Amino acid sequence: MDDLTGLTGEFYVASQLDSFCLHLANRFGRFAACEGTAGLFYGRCEAYRLARAADSAGVEATHVTQALARCEAQEVNTIGWLRTNNWSLPPGGGDYGWSPSAGRRRLAVRLYASAMDANVRTAACAAAATMPEARDIPSVMPQQQRNKVKTTPSYASSEVRGRRTDALSPPTVG
């Protein structure tokens, strides 16, 4: 997964897993995609519910139920972080003097704004609407503006290397 993410970007991988989770005919593949997208990307607790539905025999029911509970607890922190942090660059840089570039923040907000869970998606879009570099992302723009935009500039995927422990990640639940 890390190789694919490094070559294409987190948004692409999340989009593919989300699509498989929602539409794959093979229930085993759908289960794996749902579990993968929920475990790797914030704002996708709904994928655990879909995984539970794909596991008709209930083989992984205990694991999925526990993972869903952790995800829902983390989602509260994620939404709070999105609302309070508002994606701003910290004064004087982030941890250890590092601060995310505008392109990196744009890629991160695209990922959060594509969340399956409506509350996370809403909080991400509200925060992103205040960021000049993210206002052209279709899920962030008001509907009338979406119709006017023909292309969305892309940024190199090499800018997105961090995982949930970087400066653009919300705090985690112990």
The answer to whether the CB of 90 falls within 8 A of the CB of 99 is: yes
Q: What is the mean pLDDT of the chain?
A: 74
Cβ contacts of 75 within 8 Å, gap of 6 or more: 42, 43, 45, 117, 119, 120
Its domain, for residue 46, covers: 2-82
Examine the pLDDT at 112 and tell me if it is beyond 60.
yes
Q: Is 149 within the bounds of a domain?
A: yes
Cβ contacts of 85 within 8 Å, gap of 6 or more: 127, 170
Task: Tell me the pLDDT band of 87, cut-offs 50, 70 and 90.
Answer: low
Q: What is the pLDDT of residue 165?
A: 36
Q: Is 42 within the bounds of a domain?
A: yes
Q: How many structural domains comprise the chain?
A: 2
Same domain, 112 and 139: yes
| Single-letter amino acid, residue 116 | M
120-134 pLDDT, tens per residue? 988 888 888 888 777
| Alpha-carbon distances of 139 from 78, 112, 136, 167, rounded to whole Å | 18, 10, 9, 23
Task: Tell me the pLDDT band of 60, cut-offs 50, 70 and 90.
Answer: confident
Kindly report the pTM of this predicted structure: 0.69
Q: Is 104 within the bounds of a domain?
A: yes
Gyration radius of the chain's alpha carbons: 16
Same domain, 64 and 20: yes
4-36 pLDDT, tens per residue? 555 567 888 899 999 999 999 998 999 999 999
Phi then psi for residue 146, to 5 deg, are -60, -35
Same domain, 10 and 74: yes
Q: Is 123 within the bounds of a domain?
A: yes
Closest CA to 170 of 86, 64, 49: 86
Q: Is 87 within the bounds of a domain?
A: no
Q: Is 49 within the bounds of a domain?
A: yes
Secondary structure class of 5 (helix, strand, coil): helix
Q: Of 52, 82, 112, which residue is a domain's last?
A: 82
Q: What secondary structure letter does DSSP report for 139?
A: T
Q: Taking residues 101-119, report their average pLDDT.
A: 84
Task: Tell me the pLDDT band of 161, cut-offs 50, 70 and 90.
Answer: very low
Q: How many residues comprise the chain?
A: 174
Q: Is 151 within the bounds of a domain?
A: yes
Place of tokens 């639940």: 173
Same domain, 10 and 72: yes
Same domain, 55 and 104: no
